[in-house]
Structure 1
Amino acid sequence: TTPPRPETARGILLLPQDSIGSVEKCSSMTHRVLTYVPGLYKIFDEILTYAADNKQRDPSMDSLRVEVDVDQCCISIYYNGRGVPIELHPEEGLYVPEMIFGHLSNYEEITGVKLANLFSTEFIIETVDSRLEKKYKQAFSENLGKKNWTRITFKPDLAKFHMTHLDDDAMALIRKRVVDVAGFLGVTVQVVFNGQRFQRLKNFPDYVLCYISSASIDREERLPKICQRVNDQLEVCVTRSEGTFQQVSFVNKFATNEGGTHVDYVSNQIAACIAKFCSRHFKVEECEVKKHLWVFVNAFMENPTFNSPTRDALTSPQESFGSSCELSDHFVKSSM
């Protein structure tokens, strides 16, 4: 039988897999095999994605900085632009930053950034609201500014993830996710990781080019890149793989490392078009074509559903996507 869903902080800590995913190490394939803890990745990704979403709340945001102190096991994420309003919530009587990051009510499902707080030995929120001329800082644990900014600092409780330190694989995955976010935010936001400024990426095709350039290093010629912005909800790029289907995909900025229905929807269309074209000369199955595709999908949709709390794969049915994927003739022909 399925155990009841935990409704309290104690319940979540006892059954972390129901809220942040497994706290055991597992393997994931990118450019190399690495081991990582989905739960730790989850709480970092919640904070990073929350910070990146501020670009939609305030287009003037032009800076995002991530600092990871391995020795102190401390992660800090800073972004500028209009952040969290420093004012009392009219009903709860608490400041809004505390409501967002640290208030655990008995009737609320604990999700998002609050999970990072719950699974940290120390969690600090700092934000400046120049409109109200206020600065807010609050630390959870066992001065006025001219510009708006927010910094969230937390120390993951590594014991909860059966880890003793942030190892090389964890750092590689964290860095990769920061590059992901740089691709979403575009040239107007300078993204910095541990003091290193990332190259500004104009758009999703620029982000895809990071993969293709790396994969083309030992080749005589660069892998091709065919891209199409289908609509406001969907961007697609495709190149060749080495005989095994590969995918890099996102839903609402979250990385769907195992793909899902959005990737199947796009890749099956491409494979079907190529198989149909090839059938003029010889018979080829769509599944054989798909083995040679490396597909990149960037999707946005309302109320997506996933296979797990870590959002590894999208499970939303095609009819709930909110838009259709109509690939242009140029895209299809170029893919051949």
Structure 2
Amino acid sequence: MKSNYSEASIQVLKGLEPVKQRPGMYTRTDSPTHICQEVIDNAADEALGGFADTIDVEIHADGSLSVRDNGRGIPVGMHPEENMPVVELVFTRLHAGGKFDKQSGGGAYAFSGGLHGVGVSVTNALSRRLEVTVRRGGKVWRIVFADGEVIEPLSEIGRCPAKDTGTEVRVYPDPRYFDSPNYNLAELERLLRAKAVLLQGLTVRLTRPVKGLPETQTWHYPDGLRGYLDSLLTNAEAAVPVFAAENYLSGSQHDNAGEGAAFAITWLEDGAGAGESYVNLIPTPLGGTHEAGLRQAAFHAVSNFVQHHGLLPRGVKLQSEDVFARAAFVLSARLLDPQFQGQTKDKLTSRDALKLVSAACADPLELRLNQNVAYGKKIAELAISQAQARLRSAKKIEKKKSSGVAVLPGKLTDCESEDIRENELFLVEGDSAGGSAKLARDKATQAILPLRGKVLNSFEVHRDQLFGNAEIHDIAVAVGVDPHGADDNPDLGGLRYGKIAILSDADVDGAHIQVLLLTLFYRHFPKLIENGHIFVAQPPLFRVDVNAQGKKRPARKLYALDQAELDGIIAKLHKEGVKENAYSVSRFKGLGEMNPDQLKDTAMHPDTRRLLRVDIDQVADTEAVFVKLMGKGEAAARRAWMEAEGDRVETDV
């Protein structure tokens, strides 16, 4: 088939077209709930800033949904640079919003869940109709969109009292973009209830038709997080009363005023604990670094209490999960510039949040334990019993292993724990990097196996010949599983690590080593991939050293995975007003150049590292790619592929 590939073949998607072409990149497409959540989040940001105390949400009989608040109202004047009304700009232009400039004070919000400025523009793009009514400055304004385009320009439609301000947005979702046209009512109710919980004094209402008649639910929690967590524990027995506290930083707006956390926490007598977390009122059902900060604060507080009172039995060592396993909590973090995993904001990834939330929660928790020793001893008792159960479980797992003893590789630095559910093995490129990794690891649960040079391409090597290569032999013995095929049923009882992570340099050679190791696991250890044991670590390529900015802004070290992240960090520093001579950029030549603390923070610590699990979705496609890349007789196919696709490569050489 002939194809005409010319300059005219290149398309540039403008306006909201990228959202319409790939809606899944910007929102969840199972139902229109999330695009309406974007509008609710904007109303909640007004409440978070102290400008609104009421949010009314109504599901209409025609399938549309409206959100009304009594905030300041979206500005209706002309934008000084874009030459269009601001209310039109924020609904029709990606990356336009009032939540970017938080450091200088020029933005509309000090705190918000929005970051990228794509929220309500995505809502507009995926709606067949969207109506906006703004009450501001004693006037009522209206603008209407259809399929993301203006069909009724902004116009004044009436008058109102000067104190009557706010915004009402009515959304008519386009069913073409969603698996189901119906709203997820349970998710919507949970979201609205959470807004009322996290903002004391806020009244939230949801009105929807029930048997043809409107029915209204109202949420208002005068007791805040404490009362909400109590309501969640109706079917569980708490070992100690719910403890609630909040701790925010003070200072001027330029010193991150008000960053911190509010939380409520207790421990359960039986069963596993559960928690809910939020960032700037945005639910984070997958957790993230703020939950890790609360976990760290709880661990330090309980661990210090146990040591101070001499409660720890001999031979027992507390771990973070022992303390947090039965904890039930609600956490609300407030961050100036949150970084989320994807536009749906299900998980917080801001590394600074871990230290911030940990610092904000540690002191109130320690004070609580020391002021209420009986409660502290009860929590300590639960944590110690959890640790003892973990040790017993590890011994049971050991008994299931075969009696045959393999001599572990001499260069393997093993971990202390024998519980594969928490053990991790890092396959590290080079002896120098292995030395840094040994110092950076958690010796209780993390093992290091340095690899010398590049592993053999094992794609077409017979299983019986694998152990002729020393590196592959050491990997197989360290892992504890024999080589096998995709259709085999190997004995995984000898598996020694629950996570096996490839840790190589962030350059071309490192990528090649990753491919060689993935080839080994794909071809000769496929059950490890199938069961979710194989991971790839992503160390950074750049480090940015930022000088101290006065007494309240200490020096910082920021890390970038690639050039795109580096550009984003530098742009953020410029927005903060950091001058070019106040920071420096250095490039890591390899893992061996990184200090142990840097390697720990960026590649090994469970709460701050980037660790990607290896999964195979399309078996046939994956097999074809491996044959093309690693097959010995495929040189011509590789060359043709590189000639055709080489201009698309984005790598650091």
Q: Comparing both chains, which one has the higher relative contact order based on Cα–Cα distances under 8 Å and sequence gaps of 6 or more?
A: 1
- How is 1:7-18 mapped onto 2 (pairs within 5 angstroms)? 8-18=15-25
2:118 corresponding residue in structure 1? 111
User: Is 1:138 aligned with 2:156?
Assistant: no
CA distance in 2, matches of 1:288, 1:249: 20
> How big is each residue's C-alpha offset from its partner over 1:20-79, in whole Å with a ceiling of 9 and x where there is no partner?
2x424xxxxxxxxxxxx5xx34322211111122235563x332111113x422111111
Give the root-mean-square deviation of aligned CA atoms. 3.0
CA 1:319 to 1:85, structure 2 compared with 1: closer, same or farther past 3 Å?
A: closer
- How is 1:191-230 mapped onto 2 (pairs within 5 angstroms)? 191-194=204-207, 196=216, 198-202=218-222, 206-217=224-235, 224-230=241-247
CA 1:303 to 1:48, structure 2 compared with 1: closer, same or farther past 3 Å?
A: same
User: Is 1:126 aligned with 2:133?
Assistant: yes
- How is 1:11-30 mapped onto 2 (pairs within 5 angstroms)? 11-20=18-27, 22-24=28-30
1:285 corresponding residue in structure 2? 318
User: Is 1:68 aligned with 2:59?
Assistant: yes
Quick check: 280-289 or 307-316, which moved more? 280-289
1:174 corresponding residue in structure 2? 188
Paired residue total: 305
CA distance in 1, matches of 2:80, 2:303: 60
After the TM superposition, list the runs of 4 or more consecutive aligned residues in structure 1 that deviate by more than 6 angstroms.
Answer: none
Structure 2's unaligned 5+ residue stretches are 1-11, 97-115, 148-157, 208-214, 249-257, 380-653
1:27 corresponding residue in structure 2? none
- How is 1:1-336 mapped onto 2 (pairs within 5 angstroms)? 8-20=15-27, 22-24=28-30, 37=31, 40-56=32-48, 59=51, 61-69=52-60, 71-103=61-93, 111-129=118-136, 131=137, 133-142=138-147, 143-146=158-161, 147-166=164-183, 170-187=184-201, 189-194=202-207, 196=216, 198-202=218-222, 206-217=224-235, 224-231=241-248, 232=258, 233-241=260-268, 242-275=270-303, 277-278=305-306, 280-282=311-313, 283=316, 285-286=318-319, 287-318=321-352, 324-325=359-360, 326-328=362-364, 329-333=366-370, 334=375, 336=379
CA distance in 2, matches of 1:295, 1:206: 13
TM value normalised by structure 2? 0.43
CA positional deviation for 1:177: 0.8
CA distance in 2, matches of 1:226, 1:306: 28
CA distance in 1, matches of 2:356, 2:228: 29
Quick check: 49-58 or 252-261, which moved more? 49-58
C-alpha contact 1:77 1:152 (8 A) present in aligned 2: yes
CA 1:137 to 1:319, structure 2 compared with 1: closer, same or farther past 3 Å?
A: closer
CA 1:105 to 1:47, structure 2 compared with 1: closer, same or farther past 3 Å?
A: closer
C-alpha contact 2:293 2:353 (8 A) present in aligned 1: no
C-alpha contact 2:293 2:356 (8 A) present in aligned 1: no
**Identical residues among aligned pairs (%):** 19
C-alpha contact 1:6 1:12 (8 A) present in aligned 2: no
CA distance in 1, matches of 2:278, 2:230: 17
CA positional deviation for 1:179: 1.1
CA positional deviation for 1:284: 5.6
TM value normalised by structure 1? 0.79
CA positional deviation for 1:285: 3.1
CA distance in 1, matches of 2:354, 2:303: 27
For the residue of structure 1 that corresponds to 2:24, the secondary structure is: helix
CA positional deviation for 1:212: 2.2
- Residue 77 of structure 1 aligns with an amino acid whose one-letter code is V
CA 1:88 to 1:156, structure 2 compared with 1: closer, same or farther past 3 Å?
A: same
CA 1:57 to 1:295, structure 2 compared with 1: closer, same or farther past 3 Å?
A: closer
C-alpha contact 1:275 1:284 (8 A) present in aligned 2: no
CA distance in 2, matches of 1:311, 1:73: 25
Structure 1's unaligned 5+ residue stretches are 25-36
For the residue of structure 1 that corresponds to 2:159, the secondary structure is: coil
CA positional deviation for 1:296: 1.8
C-alpha contact 1:212 1:223 (8 A) present in aligned 2: no
C-alpha contact 1:89 1:96 (8 A) present in aligned 2: yes
2:442 corresponding residue in structure 1? none
- Residue 25 of structure 2 aligns with an amino acid whose one-letter code is D
- Residue 263 of structure 2 aligns with an amino acid whose one-letter code is V
Instruction: Judging by fraction of residues, say which structure has more helix.
Output: 2
